[in-house]
Amino acid sequence: MNKPTPRRDCPSLARPMRTGDGLMLRLTPIAPMPAAAWAELADVAEGLGNGLIDLTLRGAVQVRGLRDETVAAAQARLLEVGFVESRPVLATDPLGPDDPHAMGDSHALAARLADLLTTQPLPPGLPPKVTVALDAAGRLDQLTADLRLRWVGVDRLWLIVGDRVVDESRADSGPALVRDYLERMARAGCRGVDFHSSIALPLSVTPAQARVQNAKHLAPRNWTPACAGVTVEGGGAVATEAHFVSAPLPLGPITPDIHLLVPAFGALTCAQLQELLATPGLTALRPAAGRRLAVWGSQGAGCFPPFLATDDADPRLAVSACPGAPSCGSALRPTRALATALAEGNYGVLHLSGCGKGCGAPGDGTAQAIATADGWDLQGDDVSRLAAGLAAMGERRNDAL
Ligand code: SF4
């Protein structure tokens, strides 16, 4: 087994992270995975972990509560059914070629990039947590990424670092272009935003120099995600305005065969995952940004289990909570029953943490209650509604003692 990764690093399939409830593996599929693979993941979570499965804000799935003596078996079984190590993280738009706005196949291109990074490994030095977003439909503009490969036409891609377009290519050349920039990041030992200031420097590698010369015609050009109204051409085809709009997908049916759902708290028990997999017609799943699940198969909207939100207006979407007690050994209080009650009482957007580690806390000023031995510490830009909710539930707020 690989040594557990420190908390400042990024967990992955090959790099378990030690958390308050044991070891955790994070998987980032680049395309839908068949139902059989998810059934195996549920079995792994149940038999080798503590049965808890998280979906993350950045579109990964986490298996929690593994132990030193079980994690290697879990890794082997997940690899066997097709989950792969992803470093750097490759984030793809959720639906790939099935997206009605797709201008290309980001899933296939991500697979080619992953293959290229396997056959031509990067030199050491790439910082942890580097993410490459591959987006053929304008679904990932809200996701922070070090490099962004964004389709702007059929067979026309922009490479974006930070907020600047630095290069462009046809789809076939995209993986090599991204790998080249990743190699330069690795040699510089810095991430996308820091790398930004050095990208115009001359390079020692001739093909890369050629690309930078090319990039001078493009950069500096500020990247503005909301590009409605821009019409771009590529490969002889024309992408329409509608194609180029930055548009996160809504919950619910996207096509007759694809639904986007969110489990309460962005988390599933293995039993809940098994119940979802038993939905008639379900063929494949993938996690998506915002703790979502994209579900393939010809289901009707009403056939999903009730623990899944199928509508952006669902009040449960306002609250999030870590597993808390008794699921997590570090937790000082239960969290999710209280979070459910706060959602039902409409006490605003909030997060509950079972201890000060703050696993999964949004970190963006959202009102947060952190369990302590005596009550709850409150943090956030505006905690008034959360404080009112805790008072209504008979919970103690520490600074109000
Ligand atoms: S924040 Fe929650 S999940 Fe994380 S260690 Fe604390 S109690 Fe456990």
Per-residue pLDDT reduced to its tens digit, 322-350: 889 988 888 999 999 999 999 989 999 99
**Run of H or E including 209:** helix 206-216
Of the residues 23, 338, 351, 355, which should be mutated to test ligand 1's pocket, given the most ligand atoms within 8 Å of the CB? 355
Q: Which of 18, 21, 376 to mutate to test the pocket of ligand 1 (most atoms within 8 A of CB)?
A: 21
pLDDT of residue 193: 60
pLDDT of residue 217: 37
| The dihedral sign for the CA sequence 172, 174, 180, 183 | negative
* Higher pLDDT among residues 330 and 376, named by residue: 376
The residues near 99 (Cβ < 8 Å, ≥ 6 apart) are 93, 136, 137, 139, 249, 254
Q: pLDDT category, 190, cuts 50, 70, 90?
A: confident
CB under 8 Å to 266, separation ≥6 — which residues? Answer: 54, 55, 56, 57, 291, 320, 360
Helix, strand, coil percentages (3-state) for the chain, rounded to 5, are 30, 25, 45
Choose among 107, 222, 232: nearest CA to 175: 107
pLDDT at 194: 63
Residue 214 pLDDT exceeds 70: no
Of all protein residues, whose CA lies closest to atom 6 belonging to ligand 1?
A: 355
From CA 29, how far away is CA 33, in angstroms rounded? 7
Percent of the chain with pLDDT over 90: 54
Pocket of ligand 1 (CB under 6 A): 19-21, 322-324, 328, 330-331, 353-355, 357-359
